[in-house]
């Protein structure tokens, strides 16, 4: 049974017509960077709950969530219509193993994301331990249009702090050829055709890499299959260490 706390909306940012973030305050238990919680609202007398990943670092008590307003979505459309000072249910305890405590230290940490799947990485990147555990961190953010790159300013701040230890690569799936630093297409295809690794200047391999995958389940499935078959990477399991850790959003 979920134990609920009642939170209060502190801030809402509307990035685009379907991407927004909420910040709320509530009394909840500590979480690890990369974990998710459950948010809920009473809709027609029924509590509708869904999982959302924290964006903020575990030390920051302004709990922030980056959300896609899904057309006809039961909860996200109602979250989109919240106002400052509105009440919201938040689970007291957080969940999930998409965290660095479950990943062994290695040279290169690849963080691959689609859309709001960048969320857990933003929390992880704001946690100092991340930059102690890996020599290079490659954050790959696949979005439809450049206007969907909502957290560019936060990422620039983090990059300024850690300089070339953090590489950020944007991939656009709809806008084509607007900037030569951007890649165009789908993550699994850009790994298969070698364009992603060529652009970054690093290879994903079994000896020195760990790959995290978050967001669209199809991206996760295709990328994981390819890396398992061609690079000998394996799923990171509780019982057996591997080098692929994933979080599906649906």
Ligand X SMILES: Cc1cc2nc3c(=O)[nH]c(=O)nc-3n(C[C@H](O)[C@H](O)[C@H](O)COP(=O)(O)OP(=O)(O)OC[C@H]3O[C@@H](n4cnc5c(N)ncnc54)[C@H](O)[C@@H]3O)c2cc1C
CB of 220 to ligand X, least distance (A): 12
- Residue 115 in the binding site for ligand X (CB under 6 A): yes
Kindly determine how many residues on this chain lie close enough to bind ligand X according to the rule CB under 6 A.
21
* Candidate list 24, 33, 76, 99; residue touching ligand X; CB under 6 A: 76
Question: How does DSSP classify residue 235?
Answer: B
- Residue 97 in the binding site for ligand X (CB under 6 A): no
Distant-in-sequence, close-in-space partners of 239: CB < 8 Å, separation ≥ 6: none
**Distance (Å, whole) CA 39 – CA 20:** 15
Contact 120, 247 (CB under 8 A): yes
CB of 164 to ligand X, least distance (A): 28
- Residue 116 in the binding site for ligand X (CB under 6 A): yes
* Candidate list 74, 87, 147, 161; residue touching ligand X; CB under 6 A: 74
Q: Which of 91, 100, 92 is nearest to 34 (CA)?
A: 100
Q: Which of 95, 96, 4, 115 is nearest to 49 (CA)?
A: 4
Structure tokens at 163: 């300089």
Collapsing DSSP to helix, strand or coil, 19 comes out as strand
Cβ closest to ligand X, residue 243 vs residue 246? 246
CB of 146 to ligand X, least distance (A): 18
**Distance (Å, whole) CA 198 – CA 102:** 28
Binding part of the chain for ligand X, among 69-77, 101-109, 161-169, 182-190 by CB under 6 A, reads 69-77
Q: Which residues bind ligand X (CB under 6 A)?
A: 36, 50-53, 65-68, 70, 73-76, 96, 115-116, 119, 247, 249-250
């Amino acid at each position: 049974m979920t134990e609920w706390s009642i939170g209060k909306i502190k801030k809402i940012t509307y990035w685009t017509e379907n991407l927004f973030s909420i910040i709320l305050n509530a009394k909840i238990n500590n979480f690890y960077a990369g974990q998710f919680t459950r948010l809920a609202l009473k809709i027609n007398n029924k509590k509708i709950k869904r999982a959302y990943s924290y964006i903020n670092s575990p030390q920051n008590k302004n709990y922030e969530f980056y959300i896609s307003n899904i057309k006809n979505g039961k909860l996200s459309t109602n979250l989109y219509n919240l106002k400052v000072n509105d009440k919201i249910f938040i689970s007291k305890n957080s969940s999930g193993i998409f965290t660095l405590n479950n990943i062994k230290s290695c040279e290169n940490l690849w963080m691959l994301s689609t859309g709001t799947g960048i969320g857990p990485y933003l929390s992880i990147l704001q946690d100092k331990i991340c930059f102690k555990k890996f020599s290079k961190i490659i954050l790959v953010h696949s979005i439809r249009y450049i206007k969907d790159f909502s957290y560019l300013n936060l990422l620039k701040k983090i990059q300024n702090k850690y300089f070339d230890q953090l590489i950020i690569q944007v991939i656009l799936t709809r806008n084509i050829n607007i900037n030569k630093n951007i890649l165009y297409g789908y993550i699994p295809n850009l790994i298969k055709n070698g364009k992603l690794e060529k652009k970054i200047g690093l290879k994903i391999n079994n000896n020195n890499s760990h790959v995290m995958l978050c967001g669209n389940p199809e991206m996760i499935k295709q990328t994981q299959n390819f890396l398992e078959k061609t690079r000998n990477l394996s799923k990171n399991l509780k019982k057996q260490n591997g080098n692929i850790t994933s979080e599906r959003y649906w």
